Structure 1
């Protein structure tokens, strides 16, 4: 049973609708008056994602035992989302930024809640409490002292890095649901980072270059900004480790798009692998044109930054000519049976199309809801269960002092002028 009522609510950018939504949330979910009830509510329709199955990491063919119906265990979950409900006070007003954050929080909540509703049909029980973090670090710190939150089995949020840092270490699993920030900066051994940080994208790219492309030399095209080192450093470390220093990594600062100095090192028979960790529009446009010219005489494979997927100024035809490959932690197949089932269930529950935040909320609710419910030791262990979700797979590793990190990222390649997952 989930103890937050499932309201079917409209949601759009319209301020009036958001305010109505927030009022209902305040009354139904934020209050500390939530209590378990003796009887289970009527089970919600189960959303059966075909791939959303947990598997022990070392036993890929085994499955968790079937759930025991009507379990007496009640798993307690507290969610800290930036609803900014103070804007409902007389004279208050939502700014555009506050509106976007509130919408993000509501959409994530709705996906997460739908997942718990699906699990309750299998006999699992949950106590779900929702709190407004207001996207204010001081408020996140105050919430960390709330006994109802501290006594939860799982704390979801805050969403943004400053809130996570301000919340601090509380001795309970703290789920960072949407941020790819490196957990190293939080020093929280109970943190669970679901969205893979940039370093894991860089390492996965290096693995692809070494194992699939079998490159003997890799050129890293730099713009000169130090921000790019967040990608370059783990890429080179992984490449050096995998190749035992046999693959040469050549950093090269590109000035005004000129690649002439590299010509003596290029091969006309084997693929020349270029890595571009930049997201700067001016630099990319000039340098990509130079690479496109170079590709007329030299075979080229380009490894791009994961953010390229959302950069509208990049041209698909050019990237396809350069045989571009990027990594991604978010790849949804809208034609899959599991995704179609989820969309139908979400529409039925909320009369809305699910956003990316709703999809992520559903995946995370389904995974952590079941891990909590089936845990017998009182301490969840994400590293023991893999998961194939709608937006990404989960493969957690435990890092000393920084908690659990999901390391799974997709390899995407431009095929027929669109990105398709190849690994």
Structure 2
């Protein structure tokens, strides 16, 4: 592993297991010899302190694409395998630290780590492994193909299975035990539509598409939500934009109110041309833009232009590095692992702490409602869908202000 990823730490963890808190050895009592005289207790003798029995360890199976075969002598990691292994190591370290935090109040956990190798066949095999499926909680696999192969083996078992990182739609897996942590794209569209309908209240919304069918994953739930909330009083106009030509829209725009444009594309060439056209349009008409959640990751999109266009995006990945809770975590992580946490480590911490607390409280994770949770990386608000399991629907609304993204809801 490169840098300070502490991959040997993970290797050691796989060998010796991970328990939070550490397993304590309880000494066995000595049997008295037959000739031993009984000890007569004095009335005024001090009674020994009563020891609180140790809490039963809750078993957790963590299934990650560590790709340990490539760590053996004479083997090499590919770029993709190394990236997955780094991600897994970071997530494991954060998850373990979250469990340690939950264990600080007396809970006890047995953390079992399994290597899915980023391979569907291996994930399928792990789904049959009694040690994996008999745990109180299963976290992983990570990649959608692996999740499907794994969950296909556990459709009848009433075991909660956490999909920790993938935003894939739960309909892909159709497993009633699945807990989807990362909100799928549908819920980003719903959150954007809700904010527009309730806060901006425009007369019209223009959806600018590039023509790719994948954009319907965003536009369909967006339009359904707008129509439902506004009772069709907000007109939704969809137009496929060619080479940034927005001239056909000119007659429908209003220079006295904000004209709201939704751009669900993630294609660089399309976005560069279309956003420049919106910039030109903004000289005459007030413009507000709602973009795809992945825009935050695109270096080619300049904050100055997005701010000028009054741009909003949705996000489930925003960490407030100024909060006291985040800084407490950062200090603890640096002290424990001697390295900086990545986003995957922070997600792991949130999830380790959340599920550790649920297990410690004896929470029934098969009931319709799971507790809400405010984490460092994202908050959790679950909705139970028949046949699809629990889905986290919490999405933040962010706006470009002062050349940065600020949370507005």
Q: TM-score, normalised by structure 2?
A: 0.89
1:41-190 matched pairs, under 5 angstroms: 72-169=55-152, 170=154, 171=157, 172-190=159-177
| Structure 1 unaligned regions, length at least 5 | 1-10, 40-68
CA displacement, residues 119-155 of structure 1 (integer Å, 9 cap, x when unaligned): 2110011111001110010100111111111110100
1:299 is the counterpart of 2:299: no
1:275 is the counterpart of 2:258: no
**1:353 and 1:14 mapped to 2: Cα distance?**
8
Aligned position for 1:66: none
Q: 8 Å contact 1:74–1:373 — kept in the other structure?
A: no
Residue in structure 2 matching 1:339, options 326, 333, 336 = 326
Q: 8 Å contact 2:103–2:356 — kept in the other structure?
A: no
Matched positions, count: 379
Residue in structure 2 matching 1:322, options 309, 318, 330 = 309
Q: 1:376 to 1:259 in 2, by over 3 A?
A: closer
**2:12 and 2:285 mapped to 1: Cα distance?**
61
Q: Tell me which structure has the larger Cα radius of gyration.
A: 2
Q: 1:389 to 1:381 in 2, by over 3 A?
A: farther
**1:107 and 1:224 mapped to 2: Cα distance?**
38
Shift of 1:91: 2.9
Q: 8 Å contact 1:30–1:131 — kept in the other structure?
A: no
Q: 8 Å contact 2:58–2:109 — kept in the other structure?
A: yes
**2:340 and 2:72 mapped to 1: Cα distance?**
30
1:405 is the counterpart of 2:391: yes
Residue in structure 1 matching 2:229, options 234, 242, 251 = 242
**1:13 and 1:382 mapped to 2: Cα distance?**
43
Residue in structure 1 matching 2:12, options 13, 19, 24 = 24
CA displacement, residues 200-239 of structure 1 (integer Å, 9 cap, x when unaligned): 0000000011001001110000111111111101100111
SS at match of 2:369: helix
Aligned position for 2:33: none
Q: 8 Å contact 1:70–1:122 — kept in the other structure?
A: no
| Structure 2 unaligned regions, length at least 5 | 27-51
1:419 is the counterpart of 2:405: yes
**1:23 and 1:265 mapped to 2: Cα distance?**
62
Q: 8 Å contact 1:320–1:415 — kept in the other structure?
A: yes
**2:127 and 2:151 mapped to 1: Cα distance?**
7
1:197-276 matched pairs, under 5 angstroms: 197-276=184-263
> What do you get for the CA RMSD once the two structures are aligned?
2.0
